[in-house]
Amino acid sequence: MSGCATVDPTQDTIEINRLLADRGAPKLGWEANAAPEDEATVQRWLGQPMSADLAVRMAMVRSPQLQEQYAELGLARADVLEAIQIANPRIGASRLSLEDGGGEQLTYGLSAPLIDLLVLPSRVRLARLENQRARYQIAAAVLDVSLDVEAAWYTYVGAQQVADMRAAVAEALGVSADLSQRYFDAGNITELQLNRELAAASSARIDAARAAVEARMARLDLNTLIGLRGTDTDWSAGTVLPLPVAAEDDPTELRRMAETSSLELLAARQEAEITASAAGVTRNFRLLGDTSIGFEREEEIDGSRISGPTLDLELPIFNQGQARVARADAQLRLARARLARIELLSGNGIDLAAERVRVLSDIVRIHRDALVPQREIVTVRSQEEQNFMLIGVFDVIQAKTQEYDAYQSYLESVRDYWLARIALMRLVGARLPSEREVSEQTDSVSDILATPTSSATPIGASTVDHSQHGGQGGIAPATAPASTPTVDHSQHNGGRA
């Protein structure tokens, strides 16, 4: 009966879903990835703005990578089945006749490997442990995929925001370059000043093009992780990143969580236990080799019958199983070293990752409370000075460009913060407790770029005529452009909502 033991695939799925639920990850709801109701659900989700949570749930249905991991569980299950089954018994038969035809001898035998019978209880126990280790590994792989999708969403949203911001900077510097050309044609600026503005505009266009490509690549990467193709990739995204939490998690508490939550750590401990037990079994039964036991019956020529047990014993004279024992001991040392490494990386890695999260949170705060407001004030005061003809329009455009750069740096720091939190989640093996405190959102790029001026007026122009003053702005009214508008962000908080 032990030789016919098996494992239940349904129980594997239930156990993996429990492990995922305990760690705040969505459960597997599929096995064949072909259920019509799953496809209908995906199509309904595609009609909604793509959030990080929605992307992860969609990946649980569509991701080819998850299908691959689930297939790995099937291979592990097959290994378990092979490990807990003994070798099939062997039947032997012979028929020997006298040369004169005066009679014949019939022999029948049944044999089975002794080592399989003796170690079967240990093999069954080890196989069950191995199956649990495989569950830990597969659940960890599924959790990693969900975190990969979430990180890809943050990367895409951040890249798209940067692309939008770089486009705004390129537009502003393009206006500055056009204005410089008209001033140069009117003889109001030098060739050096003109080419300085033209070079800045060209550089901004290059940066905008690169940012746009990076955003498209990030979107493609997200589609690949989710498992989307064709028309399914035409989804809209919620392009607003959440702000950092008010209070970060205590690294000591996170290390304590990892002791029971880290699936990688649990799998390594299970592997060390399995390897130690297997090494003990190998050492205890190393002398038996291919020894087998059986039963034999003979019918002699005179009609008599004899029967009894048989033993086919391998004599451990030359090979005493030294290689098997050495291999088992080496595997045990390897498993224990791997466990020690993972435990070390778990403890120190959590401290390092938690510190990185804290520093990035401080960087976001400095952007919100200092750099962005300061750049906004510089833009407003520069506009006021230009209105009083104290500085030229190019100074205003430069101030506005630096304000855009501050916004971009702010958004990038928010993105980096959430990517760092995801890296910390990988080490802990679960969602962070502080995640419940997430409530505030950053401003969208469209809010940041919104201005009270007419949309028909180019960004960066001013209606102030500098024709009566020497310097950059002096061109005759007849040739002066409807110059750059006042770009007023004083009514916006620059993402500090």
Write the pLDDT tens digit of every residue in 316-334: 777 777 787 888 889 889 9
Q: Distance between CA atoms of 412 and 157, rounded to whole angstroms?
A: 10
Is the pTM higher than 0.75? Answer: no
Q: Using pLDDT thresholds of 50, 70 and 90, give the confidence band for residue 427.
A: very high
More confident residue, 292 or 244: 244
For the ranges 34-38, 161-165, 437-441, the lowest mean pLDDT is seen at 34-38
pLDDT in tens, 146-178: 899 999 999 999 999 889 889 988 988 898 899
Q: What is the pLDDT of residue 30?
A: 52
Residue ranges covered by each domain of the chain: 2-449
Q: Using pLDDT thresholds of 50, 70 and 90, give the confidence band for residue 207.
A: very high
Q: Using pLDDT thresholds of 50, 70 and 90, give the confidence band for residue 485.
A: very low
Share of the chain above pLDDT 90, in %: 25
H or E stretch at 9: helix 9-22
Q: Is the dihedral of CA 194, 195, 200, 202 positive or negative?
A: positive
123-140: average pLDDT: 80
**Which string of b and e fits 116-127 if b means at least 16 CB within 10 Å?**
beebbeebbebb
Q: What is the pLDDT of residue 361?
A: 94
Q: What is the pLDDT of residue 88?
A: 73
Q: Are strands 104-113 and 292-299 parallel, antiparallel or unpaired?
A: antiparallel
Q: Is the dihedral of CA 25, 26, 30, 35 positive or negative?
A: negative
Residue whose pair of structure tokens reads 């916006």 in the numeric block: 492
Q: Using pLDDT thresholds of 50, 70 and 90, give the confidence band for residue 85.
A: low
Q: Distance between CA atoms of 243 and 415, rounded to whole angstroms?
A: 9
More confident residue, 316 or 19: 19
What values do phi and psi take at 29, rounded to 5? Answer: -120, 20
More confident residue, 118 or 297: 297
pLDDT in tens, 359-396: 999 999 999 999 999 999 999 999 899 888 888 777 88
Contact 94, 21 (CB under 8 A): no
Q: Using pLDDT thresholds of 50, 70 and 90, give the confidence band for residue 470.
A: very low
Q: Which fold has domain 2-449?
A: Outer membrane efflux proteins (OEP) (1.20.1600)
Model confidence at 137: pLDDT above 90: no
Q: Using pLDDT thresholds of 50, 70 and 90, give the confidence band for residue 81.
A: low
Residue 94's DSSP bridge partners are 107
Q: How far is CA 258 from CA 1, 148, 264, 265, 429, in A?
A: 39, 19, 10, 8, 6
Q: What is the pLDDT of residue 455?
A: 32
Q: Distance between CA atoms of 13 and 18, rounded to whole angstroms?
A: 9
Q: What is the pLDDT of residue 496?
A: 35
pLDDT in tens, 208-266: 999 999 999 999 999 999 888 888 888 887 667 888 998 899 999 999 999 888 888 99
Q: What is the pLDDT of residue 184?
A: 92
